[in-house]
């Protein structure tokens, strides 16, 4: 009798151990994120912005985020191989142009099937590098692009079928409403807003394909307060996941 009880107990222990190991194996690996920020101290609180963006991603439990304050990390093809997606949060006035091999590394990173997420003024980076503007889908051009006074405005979710914006309703946010971003490439628009400054409907969140990779452009996020808008946080977390994997789970 005792031996039967012992055998049954042993079977239960082995079964529980097996189930636990299966559960652990099924847990998806974290998405590896390289968040590149800069030193635009005269316009934006850039460390606050990058840290808040990192917090938004980390609290989901889906991302392993490494922050780099030097865009010259793009010179290392070996370093980039460790990541699934690059998040570009602010442009650096100090770096007006990347070396040619750094440019190639970034473009090849995305073309190979990985992701690129560009946020707020980061699309103004490297103003003389034409292909970077194409990578961003639309680009902030100094002297042409702009915005009115920061204010609370309504953002319109115009594509509720895309994984990034599925189930999201129109929302209000306290931010800069970017206008007159420049570019003509094919993009999939997700969120817009009517600008009193430009008198037009402006594109604030959109996606595009670049080679085999995915790009998300998010024009929200002037500072921590702007980034605290719940739907903006959802767009960031979902957008980075979609850029990295092509889906949102």
pLDDT digits (tens, 9 = 90+) for 152-191: 999 999 999 999 999 999 999 999 999 999 999 999 999 9
In a domain, 162, yes or no: no
Measured distance CA(217)–CA(197) in Å, rounded: 21
Give the pLDDT mean for 231-245.
Answer: 98
Reported as type and span, the H/E element at residue 244 is helix 230-245
Contacts of 27 (CB under 8 A, 6+ apart): none
In a domain, 72, yes or no: yes
Encode pLDDT of 44-78 as tens digits: 888 899 999 999 999 999 999 999 998 999 999 99
56 lies in which domain range? Answer: 29-140+204-245
- The total number of structural domains in the chain stands at 1
242 pLDDT tier (thresholds 50, 70, 90) = very high
In a domain, 191, yes or no: no
Measured distance CA(220)–CA(187) in Å, rounded: 17
CATH number, position 44: 3.40.50.880
In a domain, 82, yes or no: yes
26 pLDDT tier (thresholds 50, 70, 90) = low
In a domain, 16, yes or no: no
In a domain, 150, yes or no: no
223 pLDDT tier (thresholds 50, 70, 90) = very high
Tell me what pLDDT residue 88 has: 95
Reported as type and span, the H/E element at residue 24 is helix 2-26
In a domain, 195, yes or no: no
In a domain, 35, yes or no: yes
């Amino acid at each position: 009798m005792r031996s039967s009880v012992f055998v049954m107990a042993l079977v239960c222990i082995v079964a529980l151990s097996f189930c636990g190991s299966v559960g652990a194996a099924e847990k998806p690996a974290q998405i590896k994120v390289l968040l590149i920020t800069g030193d635009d101290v005269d316009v934006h609180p850039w460390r606050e912005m990058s840290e808040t963006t990192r917090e938004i991603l980390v609290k989901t439990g889906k991302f392993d985020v490494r922050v780099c304050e030097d865009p010259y990390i793009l010179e290392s093809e070996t370093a980039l191989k460790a990541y699934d997606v690059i998040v570009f949060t602010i442009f650096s006035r100090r770096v007006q142009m990347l070396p040619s091999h750094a440019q190639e590394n970034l473009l090849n990173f995305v073309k190979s099937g990985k992701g690129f997420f560009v946020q707020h003024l980061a699309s103004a980076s490297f103003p003389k590098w034409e292909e970077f503007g194409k990578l961003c889908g639309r680009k902030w051009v100094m002297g042409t692009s702009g915005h009115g006074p920061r204010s609370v405005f309504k953002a319109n979710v115009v594509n509720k079928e895309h994984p990034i914006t599925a189930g999201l309703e129109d929302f209000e946010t306290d931010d800069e409403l970017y206008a007159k971003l420049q570019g003509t490439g094919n993009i999939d628009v997700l969120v817009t807003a009517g600008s009193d400054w430009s008198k037009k409907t402006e594109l604030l969140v959109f996606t595009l394909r670049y080679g085999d990779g995915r790009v998300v452009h998010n024009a929200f996020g002037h500072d921590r307060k702007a980034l605290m808008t719940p739907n903006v946080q959802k767009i960031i977390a979902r957008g980075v996941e979609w850029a990295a994997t092509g889906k949102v789970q």
